[in-house]
Structure 1
Amino acid sequence: MEENQYTGNSFIERLQYYMQEKGINDNQMTVNAGLSVGLIGKAKGSNKGMNAANIEKILLAYPDLNPDWLLTGRGKMCKMQEESSPQPKDTLPIAHQTSENNQEGIPLIPLSAMAGAFTEETAVMEFECERYVIPAFKGADFLIQVKGDSMQPTYYSGDLVACQRVTLNDIFFQWNKAYVLDTKQGPLIKRIMPGSDENHIRIVSDNTNYPPFELSKDQFNGVALVRGIVRLE
């Protein structure tokens, strides 16, 4: 049977099929979605569903999973590409670098100056930064360059991400959105999910080779929401 056409007889059968197609085991889903240990195994054994709170956790952790298909068997297993997948290169926001000494556009902040980018103390050195005009990201405050592979396949090393500062005094995380965090151990680009209590958040990489971990909110000095990506040739 072709992928996305499987309907199954129950919620748990469809969930198992999704896991099989995506190469996800019980432990990976338990950790990524923040489920109770053994919950998936119990659901398989009883061939029953889960409560709404646990289903919501799964859908937040796996945004490509079509909730209508999971719950009813209707439609495709995965959402349409434009809803769930990174944009291909030719549809990414058009950007061009400004000429030297031109203060138009968004500054590309080096990682060494990240602390200043979060606290708006970059005015003195911004004239030295490369700047890019990106019409689609008018609300962005700065750009930074991605390093490493922990957020592949969404963000690749060398990509530029447009960031909008978030005030720490009145922070409201949008779960499963990508943020840049200025932590005591350096900047991180990760997805944010609820932690075990109100004082912690769960840090999630798109690359499943990097396990999620919790971080106390007092460990970061600044936060910025990722507004979009620019992939340079």
Structure 2
Amino acid sequence: MCKILSRIEELSKQEGITIGALEKKIGASKGVLSRAIAKGTDIQAKWIESLVENYPMYSTEWLLTGNGPMLKAATQESQVTAQLSTPTAKDRIPEAFRCLDALHFTHELIPLVSQKAAAGFGNADFAITKSDVKEYYVIPKWRRQHVDFMIEVTGDSMQPKYNAGDVVGCTIIHNSGFIQWNRPHVIATREQGLLIKRLMPGTTANSLSAVSENIQYPPFDIPKDEITGIALVIGHVNLE
């Protein structure tokens, strides 16, 4: 079954979508495929059936056994016909990198998305689609950090650490027990949208304290039931 997971990854790359988007497409909860891929564990047969139903252009024999071509014969013929007009993986790479290996970079492209698109990252069915992506970044040092998305900083509450227009890389935290106190996080809230703050224990057991870098903004508590998602900021990109 684990070999099937590697072919599922190939399928998602061929489609130009993330594993999260693929999970959404087949009706699976967030993490069903990504956790199995990360841990090398089995997935239920119903998800394989859903893949076959939703992507009929792919060979079932190839998906199950790895034998034969990935695409069915008719699909391959149509792809040859459309080859001149269909964007390739290399076309999606920033121009400065197009002289380099396209396949290598499709594995490492980090999507920069709008705050509106990222606001739902705490939901179980959250997935980034092509229309959500403003740009892709290639940052080799972030390769092992499992960065899920990047967003632009707004406002001045995190100055001087972050300025408006800086870009931060975010890794979604799926277990609130792994919060790293006093580290900057992106917090998705029901009423205030996305906030970028350092997190500390709240004044009550049912809250977290949001701390700004700018001393003009005093710390404040966020009720835990107002928080829909938390992501760790692992780095940022800025201009002088």
The TM tier, using the shorter chain, reads 0.5 to 0.7
Which secondary structure does the structure 1 equivalent of 2:119 belong to? helix
For 1:191, the aligned partner's letter is: R
Which secondary structure does the structure 1 equivalent of 2:117 belong to? helix
The alpha-carbon deviation at position 129 of structure 1 amounts to 3.2
User: Cα–Cα, structure 1 residues 105 and 125, in superposed 2: closer, same or farther, change >3 Å?
Assistant: same
The answer on whether the counterparts of 2:152 and 2:167 sit within 8 Å (CA) in structure 1 is: yes
Q: Does 2:179 match 1:173?
A: yes
The answer on whether the counterparts of 1:200 and 1:216 sit within 8 Å (CA) in structure 2 is: yes
User: Cα–Cα, structure 1 residues 163 and 114, in superposed 2: closer, same or farther, change >3 Å?
Assistant: same
Percent identical among aligned pairs is 45
For 1:99, the aligned partner's letter is: P
Q: 1:183 aligns with which of 181, 189, 192?
A: 189
CA distance in structure 1 between the aligned counterparts of 2:139 and 2:214, rounded to whole angstroms? 27
TM-score normalised to the size of structure 2? Answer: 0.51
The alpha-carbon deviation at position 125 of structure 1 amounts to 3.1
The alpha-carbon deviation at position 175 of structure 1 amounts to 1.1
Q: Does 2:118 match 1:114?
A: yes
Q: Deviations over 1:60-92 (max 9, x none)?
A: xxxxxxxxxxxxxxxxxxxxxxxxxxxxxxxxx
1:200 equivalent in structure 2: 207
CA distance in structure 1 between the aligned counterparts of 2:158 and 2:93, rounded to whole angstroms? 28
1:230 equivalent in structure 2: 237
2:216 equivalent in structure 1: 209
The alpha-carbon deviation at position 128 of structure 1 amounts to 4.0
CA distance in structure 1 between the aligned counterparts of 2:186 and 2:133, rounded to whole angstroms? 22
User: Cα–Cα, structure 1 residues 176 and 186, in superposed 2: closer, same or farther, change >3 Å?
Assistant: same
CA distance in structure 2 between the aligned counterparts of 1:105 and 1:232, rounded to whole angstroms? 20
Which secondary structure does the structure 1 equivalent of 2:130 belong to? helix
Unaligned 5+ segments in structure 1 are 1-96
For 1:108, the aligned partner's letter is: L
CA distance in structure 1 between the aligned counterparts of 2:133 and 2:202, rounded to whole angstroms? 39
2:150 equivalent in structure 1: 143
The alpha-carbon deviation at position 203 of structure 1 amounts to 0.7
The answer on whether the counterparts of 2:188 and 2:195 sit within 8 Å (CA) in structure 1 is: yes
Q: Deviations over 1:5-61 (max 9, x none)?
A: xxxxxxxxxxxxxxxxxxxxxxxxxxxxxxxxxxxxxxxxxxxxxxxxxxxxxxxxx
Moved more, 116-125 or 133-142: 116-125
Alignment RMSD (CA, Å): 2.4
Unaligned 5+ segments in structure 2 are 1-91, 96-101
Mapping 1:31-110, distance limit 5 Å: 98-99=93-94, 103=106, 104-110=108-114
User: Cα–Cα, structure 1 residues 223 and 188, in superposed 2: closer, same or farther, change >3 Å?
Assistant: same
Q: 1:129 aligns with which of 120, 134, 139?
A: 134
Q: Deviations over 1:175-224 (max 9, x none)?
A: 11100000012100000111122211111000000011111111111110
CA distance in structure 2 between the aligned counterparts of 1:176 and 1:123, rounded to whole angstroms? 28
The answer on whether the counterparts of 1:109 and 1:117 sit within 8 Å (CA) in structure 2 is: no
Q: Deviations over 1:124-145 (max 9, x none)?
A: 2367431000111122111110
Q: Which runs of 4+ in 1 moved over 4 A?
A: 100-104
The answer on whether the counterparts of 2:149 and 2:170 sit within 8 Å (CA) in structure 1 is: yes
Mapping 1:153-172, distance limit 5 Å: 153-168=160-175, 170-172=176-178
The alpha-carbon deviation at position 115 of structure 1 amounts to 2.8
